[in-house]
Amino acid sequence: MTDSPTYVGQPLDRIDGRLKVTGSARYAAEFRAPNLSFATLVAASIARGRVRSLVTTFAERAPGVLAVITAANMPRMPRPSVPPAGDSSPLLDREIRYSGQIIAVVVAETHEQAQYAAELVHAEYDMLAPSANMERELARGFEPNTGNAPPSSKRGDVQSGLAAASTRVDAVYRTPTYHHNPMEPHATVAIWNGEDLLAYDATQGVSNTAQNLAEQFGLAPENVRVVDPFVGGGFGCKGQSWPHTPLAALAARVVNRPVRLELPRRQMFFTVGHRPETRQAETLGSDASGKLAAIRHQAFNHTSELDDFLEPTGNTPSMLYSCANVEVTQHLVRLNLGSPTYQRAPGESTGNFAHETAMDELAVRLRLDPLELRLRNYAQSDEKTGHPWSSKSLRECYAAAAQSFGWSQRSAAPRSMRDGRWLVGYGMATAAYPANFRPAGAKAQMYSDGSVRVLCGTQDLGTGTYTILAQVAADTVGVPISKVRVEIADTRFPDAPTSGGSCSATSAGSAVLMACRALRGRVLAMALADEGSPLFNLKASDIETRDGVASARQAPARRMSYVEIFGRYGKRVVEQEAFAEPGRERGGGGGAPQGTEQAAKGGSGQYSMYAFGAHFCEVRVDADLGTVRVARWNAAFALGKVLNAKTLRNQLQGGIVWGIGMALEEKSLLDERYARYVNSNLSEYHVPVNADIPEIAIELIPEKDEFVSPLGAKGAGEIGITGSPAAIGNAIYHATGRRLRELPITLDQLLV
């Protein structure tokens, strides 16, 4: 390897950027096949009840219609329901449990014909009143059995801690239902060839989708191939399989032709998940100096009649600050809504809003600077697990962001800062998110022209995965990045985890690092063992590789290019495959470690691994109209090794933009009479636009973490949104003196 990275850390442009801006990048719905047909879903218009009759005659007679598939005529599937999606079963039965539940699939020659015929399917129902108000159903709340770590936790004696506290905050915080709304709709193109199934699917996890399809259709895993080279945003809703994917494959089998099924925007509000509504009651107690004596966090979120989806809001209050007495309880409430799912920073984004708002309230009651309160409760270790941090540079984040923002100029009293008609407020909050590292494989190949090909079953959601993997490969092997070709998101390649939980860079990147390290070792081994080679009798550690040339560190004249090595030994291609997992790393041959313990002991539970950051923002509130504008934003993050400074900042800025939307604009509006979302489109589901966003200044704190993964990087996809809604709410309080505990914060709340 080179002495110092040439590409890793540099703010390189995305290598797939030109494909995207020229329209050459193909997304799932854009793949074609001979004799392609088109499918449209028919959704239930009630939220609770039973289908009394389903008339499909008119649809079947419509022009171009090839089939109308219902529960009555669908082929039997070996295993129609596959976790974790609560409603992965296509055409469940006649029982309706939520509005938008799929009751039929229409397949036609064209997309327009399928849409028209779907409108001709007529259902009659025995309708019951749906349950759609979580607050009214809290008494039916239950603690879920998640199958892994329990959602509730406790340490110390909270009652005693609260009794001894001199200052308390006791409040309820609410977040609404949110929908993901990626620009690319969910879509699947399904193609059968005998018992082999090929699916082009808009997914965050090709391997997970393939596994589910294999189980649902009773196929051997090797008979299912899933491909998705470009994902037009996912944010969590494409992280699991939903009913439309197996239904596309089912329809293709029924009509014996390839089928494309693409969801319209409206159906994406009902059938592919959402962030559930939360109600979080939080109690903080402290002594007169601000040292936390007790934390109690009691949360509810809604789930469907079909699953037990938990939004783990208690993760943040259980570990973020030092406190001896902590109790977290979490409960679910069943409603007649579709299954909730993961949405960018699930649990941390919603839980952090409650916890960081409560901390701000405590600071106000103590007449203490909000930043100083956090520093007085700085956690030197993860007190939930008792483990030390693998690395933690949160103090440095606070200092850097506060300095660049000008926090010291803040006047403490609410409504004390003004600029003309605008009330000016400063707010801050802490950001934290787990540094996830999951098992991943990769293959690296070198060809006789010195080029390198990297294969990995990961995905690029628009985050820059293609680019960072190329950077890692180029530096590890020692070739120009122009000589590296990255191919991902195909189940023919080595398995990698679903792209969620900010794990792709760390997991896939570590696998690529190890595969390329093994590849370099194997290629060099040929020259090191050859008496006629200028590199003969050197050790691999004595060799530096740069720009496709291997040379002795102490004698640079002893050199040999990769092209020369391949030509001398008559090789056309050399390849190595490696697998990275927490606690161990494996790589095949050529000097790669075999079964050695990796530096990241976190996999064996010795360290708690988190990314940390700090948000500081300025808001301006119109004193007469209540209009809120976010005027400035400074944030700092410590994320281990920086792989690409440009794509990293892009991810962090994107998360903050999401936080602004979460705090001020986004809300899925439910008509409780029918349990239907009424703003199920992008004209009425408000999201931030460019005019809503100020310049977002991001500072990256240098941090070395020897334990988090072989690569040493921490993910950045989620952490930007954690803390940002609370920072806005805290700034609005400082500007106006009004404490608002329910999102989104809208001008009507400020005018009351």
**How many whole angstroms separate alpha carbon 167 and alpha carbon 289?**
10
**How many whole angstroms separate alpha carbon 337 and alpha carbon 48?**
9
164: exposed, middle or buried (Cβ count in 10 Å: 0-12, 13-18, 19+): middle
**The pLDDT value given to residue 146:** 67
Let me know: does 177 contact 669? Beta carbons within 8 Å.
no
Given a cut of 60, whether residue 558 has pLDDT beyond it is yes
**The pLDDT value given to residue 604:** 44
Domain of 210? 31-129+183-233+238-268
Query: What is the average per-residue pLDDT within 316-345?
Result: 97
**The pLDDT value given to residue 386:** 96
Residue 332 lies in a domain: yes
Q: Which one is predicted more confidently, 89 or 554?
A: 554
**How many whole angstroms separate alpha carbon 306 and alpha carbon 332?**
12
Q: Model confidence at 145, in pLDDT bands (50, 70, 90)? A: confident
Residue 3 lies in a domain: no
| Tokens representing residue 570 in the block | 């008559």
Q: Can you give the CATH number for the domain in which 123 is found?
A: 3.30.365.10
Q: Of the candidates 578, 599, 620, which is a domain's last residue?
A: 599
pTM above 0.75, yes or no: yes
Helix axis angle, 348-366 to 724-736, nearest 10°: 30
Pairing of strands 259-262, 37-43: parallel
Given a cut of 50, whether residue 222 has pLDDT beyond it is yes
Given a cut of 80, whether residue 89 has pLDDT beyond it is no
**The pLDDT value given to residue 586:** 47
Task: Spell out the residues 6+ positions from residue 650 whose beta carbon is closer than 8 angstroms to its own.
Answer: 464
- Say if residue 483 is in the same domain as residue 371: no
**The pLDDT value given to residue 581:** 93
Which of 534, 539, 538 is closest to 549 using CA atoms? Answer: 534
pLDDT of 457-468, one tens digit each?
999 999 999 999
- Say if residue 502 is in the same domain as residue 402: no
**How many whole angstroms separate alpha carbon 495 and alpha carbon 463?**
19
Given a cut of 70, whether residue 382 has pLDDT beyond it is yes
Query: What is the average per-residue pLDDT within 568-576?
Result: 96
pLDDT of 57-79, one tens digit each?
999 999 999 999 999 999 988 87
Phi, psi of 654 (to 5 degrees): -60, -40
Residue 176 lies in a domain: no
Q: Which value, in Å, is the radius of gyration of the alpha carbons in the chain?
A: 27
Residue percentage of the chain with pLDDT more than 90: 91
Q: Model confidence at 3, in pLDDT bands (50, 70, 90)? A: low
Helix axis angle, 465-477 to 504-528, nearest 10°: 30
Given a cut of 50, whether residue 706 has pLDDT beyond it is yes
Let me know: does 487 contact 528? Beta carbons within 8 Å.
no
Q: Is 718 a catalytic residue?
A: yes
Residue 226 lies in a domain: yes
Phi, psi of 130 (to 5 degrees): -80, 160
- Say if residue 353 is in the same domain as residue 262: no
Let me know: does 271 contact 100? Beta carbons within 8 Å.
yes
pLDDT of 256-270, one tens digit each?
999 999 999 999 999
Given a cut of 70, whether residue 8 has pLDDT beyond it is yes
**How many whole angstroms separate alpha carbon 565 and alpha carbon 738?**
71
**How many whole angstroms separate alpha carbon 501 and alpha carbon 512?**
19
- Say if residue 392 is in the same domain as residue 247: no
Query: What is the average per-residue pLDDT within 662-689?
Result: 97
**The pLDDT value given to residue 92:** 62
Phi, psi of 501 (to 5 degrees): 70, 25
**How many whole angstroms separate alpha carbon 257 and alpha carbon 669?**
39
Given a cut of 90, whether residue 138 has pLDDT beyond it is yes
Q: How far is CA 93 from the centre of its chain?
A: 32
- Say if residue 338 is in the same domain as residue 420: yes
Residue 637 lies in a domain: yes
Which of 613, 158, 738, 686 is closest to 356 using CA atoms? Answer: 613
**The pLDDT value given to residue 135:** 97
3-state DSSP assignment of residue 151? coil
Residue 135 lies in a domain: no
Given a cut of 80, whether residue 587 has pLDDT beyond it is no
Phi, psi of 207 (to 5 degrees): -70, -40
Query: What is the average per-residue pLDDT within 90-116?
Result: 92
Q: Which of 311, 348, 699, 718 is catalytic?
A: 718
Which of 611, 285, 612 is closest to 429 using CA atoms? Answer: 612
Residue 485 bridge partners (DSSP): 453
Provide the 8-state DSSP code for 368: -
- Say if residue 426 is in the same domain as residue 298: yes
**How many whole angstroms separate alpha carbon 191 and alpha carbon 89?**
20
- Say if residue 405 is in the same domain as residue 480: no
Which of 269, 278, 111, 261 is closest to 182 using CA atoms? Answer: 269
Let me know: does 199 contact 186? Beta carbons within 8 Å.
no
Residue 296 lies in a domain: yes
- Say if residue 679 is in the same domain as residue 646: yes
- Say if residue 448 is in the same domain as residue 432: no
**The pLDDT value given to residue 78:** 80
**What do you get for the CA distance between the two ends of the chain, in Å?**
64
Cα distances (angstroms) measured from residue 454 to each of 439, 483, 648? 17, 11, 21
**The pLDDT value given to residue 17:** 96
**How many whole angstroms separate alpha carbon 516 and alpha carbon 592?**
9
Given a cut of 70, whether residue 585 has pLDDT beyond it is no
Cα distances (angstroms) measured from residue 169 to each of 312, 355, 362, 432? 21, 11, 6, 22
Q: Of the candidates 545, 578, 599, which is a domain's last residue?
A: 599
3-state DSSP assignment of residue 541? helix
- Say if residue 665 is in the same domain as residue 525: no
Angle of CA points 478, 481, 484, to nearest 5°: 90
Task: Spell out the residues 6+ positions from residue 242 whose beta carbon is closer than 8 angstroms to its own.
Answer: 85, 87, 88, 186, 271, 272, 273
- Say if residue 203 is in the same domain as residue 67: yes
| Tokens representing residue 353 in the block | 């809003």
Cα distances (angstroms) measured from residue 229 to each of 283, 488, 489? 46, 6, 5
| Tokens representing residue 36 in the block | 């392609």
| Domain tally, the chain | 3
Mean pLDDT of the chain: 94
Spell out where 229-382 has E strands: 259-262, 278-286, 292-303, 326-334
- Say if residue 522 is in the same domain as residue 577: yes
pLDDT of 114-132, one tens digit each?
999 999 999 999 999 999 9
Q: How far is CA 340 from the centre of its chain?
A: 15
Q: Of the candidates 599, 616, 634, which is a domain's last residue?
A: 599
**How many whole angstroms separate alpha carbon 546 and alpha carbon 41?**
54
Residue 136 lies in a domain: no
Given a cut of 50, whether residue 600 has pLDDT beyond it is no
Phi-psi category of residue 314: left, alpha or beta, with phi > 0 → left and psi -120 to 50 → alpha: alpha
Q: What count of other Cβ atoms lies within 10 Å of the Cβ of residue 272? A: 27
**The pLDDT value given to residue 597:** 25
Which of 529, 551, 567 is closest to 478 using CA atoms? Answer: 551
